[in-house]
Amino acid sequence: MKFKIYSLIAAGTIALALSSCKKDFLDQTPITQVGPDVAFADAAAAEKLIQGAYDGMYNDFHIWDYMTNGDVRSDNAYAGGDNPANIQLDLFTVNSTNGNVGRDWNALYSDIKNCNLIITNISNIQDPKLDVGDRRKQILAEASILRAYMYFNLVRTWGSVPLVVKVPTTDAEFYPAKASVDAIYAQIIADLEYGAANARVAGPTKGIMTKGVANALLAKVYASKPTPDWNKVNMYCDAVIGGGYSLISNYDFLWDSNHKNNSEAIWEMQYDGYGGLHGNWMPSVLVGTGWKRFNTPTNSLAKAFDDAGDAIRKASSIKFNNVVSEGWNDSYWSKTSYPYINKYRADDKSDNYILRLADIILLKAEAVNELSTSGWSTAAPLVNQIRSRVNLDATPAADQASMRLAIENERRLELAFEGHRWFDLLRTNRVIPVMNAQVDGTGANLNYNLTASKLYFPIPQDELDKNPNVR
């Protein structure tokens, strides 16, 4: 079959992710044409393939852009720096040639391709070792959860996108049309349900896709669908909360690099420093001297912390420095007290908390509040559990409407710079009024002029050029 270069599915190979596989596998055959006799020969190869899927995630999207997409597009951060692609995201002027848009699309579909290779082919492996302890099902579950996570990011960021769930073999499969948002969510849920039923309760690290990860993602998915299912959100939050996780006592321990893989982490990227297999370069672009850093905290977020009397989470989230001697200017902040993100500090070793328990507790509070006009009274103890850790008084919210806004604000302060804020505002239909009301430090409106047409990324131009079916 003529091999077609198609960036969405077949661009490149799994070479970096499978560096431990046979050299001839990497050098001789395009990945879409690898047969079971080469890459899928035995249980050891299956383990390398699932490890390759995990290793493939150490790309710009998972290291860096997930936070830019969730916080710079929201009221939590300005673009900072001088990167035109980030500035377009901040000002809602993104077009199809934006570099971030293209690299995120390619990264997520590359991750999906790696998962599809496993899901499509693992049943063909005849090695009985794979069926010891249900390992075959566990690998399939992990790949399914990973694939669901990638599609969850795609559908929340782009809306309707191609839905590719197997290794392509025909022209039509190489150039798929976009699927409906409902169809994508249905596939995400099916993958996560399989994962919840068949994944391990715990892996060797918090970087493994487990039942807890599947349940947490299911809760978030049901809250993010066009029509949320709050009963399902509540059910899956309960599954996570009862799954053996617990809040750690000190909020700052989450970010000090001395408490990795702690009891609060449901899923955590595993970085081991520049001298190891996976170094995290994100902190170096957030804080430092010599040039203007990216993702600057907003006046709005700093004020929200102050208005709440939330000194603990503010100190953990934002660090102020005197940068008067630096040779650059800023439109939003005085350089005598200039803010930097403080949650990622250890330069080459920081962990990204992709999923943690506090997120799920607050999501459960949201669910019970939405399920009943009196649900605010059930939500209050959950919100207060999060507030008490940072020495804040009980929430004053005393009805459904005020609790809805209280939870929104609590999620903002608790989860700042973790990639959630934009998607919280988007799923609750609050993003347009919130963003269009944004002001700078002097009270002047920032004039974002956000409209419904700007809520989702455009399809990358390179993809439009190669696949006319996504137009």
Q: Determine the Cα–Cα distance for residues 298 and 198; give it in Å rounded to an integer.
A: 43
Residue 121 in tokens: 């082919």
CB atoms within 10 A of CB 374: 11
The structure's pTM equals 0.91
Residue 15: its pLDDT value, please?
33
CB atoms within 10 A of CB 311: 13
Given a cut of 60, whether residue 5 has pLDDT beyond it is no
CATH of domain 354-454: 1.25.40.900
Condensed to tens digits (0 to 9), the pLDDT of residues 400-456 reads 999 999 999 999 999 999 999 999 999 999 999 999 999 999 999 999 999 999 999
Instruction: Give percent of the chain above pLDDT 70.
Output: 91
Confidence of residue 309 (pLDDT cuts 50, 70, 90): very high
The 8-class DSSP code of residue 263 comes to T
Residue 170: its pLDDT value, please?
86
Confidence of residue 154 (pLDDT cuts 50, 70, 90): very high
Residue 353: its pLDDT value, please?
78
What pairing do the DSSP bridges indicate for beta strands 353-356 and 318-321?
unpaired
Q: Determine the Cα–Cα distance for residues 45 and 57; give it in Å rounded to an integer.
A: 19
74 with 122: CB under 8 angstroms?
no
42 with 48: CB under 8 angstroms?
no
Q: Which of 55-59, 141-145, 347-351 has the lowest mean pLDDT?
A: 347-351
Q: At what angle do helices 211-224 and 357-371 cross, to 10 degrees?
A: 40
The dihedral region occupied by 294, where left means phi > 0, alpha psi between -120 and 50, and beta the remainder, is beta
Q: What are phi and psi of 79, to 5 degrees?
A: -65, -40
The 8-class DSSP code of residue 16 comes to T
What's the start-to-end Cα distance of the chain, in Å? 26
Distance, C-alpha 185 to centroid of its chain: 16
> Any alpha helices (H) in 390-449, and if so which ranges?
400-414, 421-427, 431-436
Mean pLDDT for the chain? 90
Q: At what angle do helices 230-241 and 211-224 cross, to 10 degrees?
A: 160
Three-class secondary structure assignment of 75-129:
CCEEEECCCHHHHHHHHCCCCCCCHHHHHHHHHHHHHHHHHHHHHHHHHHCCCHH
Residue 229: its pLDDT value, please?
98
Q: Determine the Cα–Cα distance for residues 410 and 463; give it in Å rounded to an integer.
A: 38
Residue 347: its pLDDT value, please?
64
Given a cut of 80, whether residue 74 has pLDDT beyond it is yes
Contacts of 465 (CB under 8 A, 6+ apart): none
Given a cut of 60, whether residue 23 has pLDDT beyond it is no
DSSP string for 325-370: TSS---SSS-TTSEEEE-S--STTSPPPEEEEHHHHHHHHHHHHHH
Condensed to tens digits (0 to 9), the pLDDT of residues 40-73 reads 789 999 999 999 999 999 999 999 999 999 999 9
Three-class secondary structure assignment of 19-49:
CCCCHHHHHHCCHHHCCCCCCCCCHHHHHHH
Confidence of residue 184 (pLDDT cuts 50, 70, 90): very high
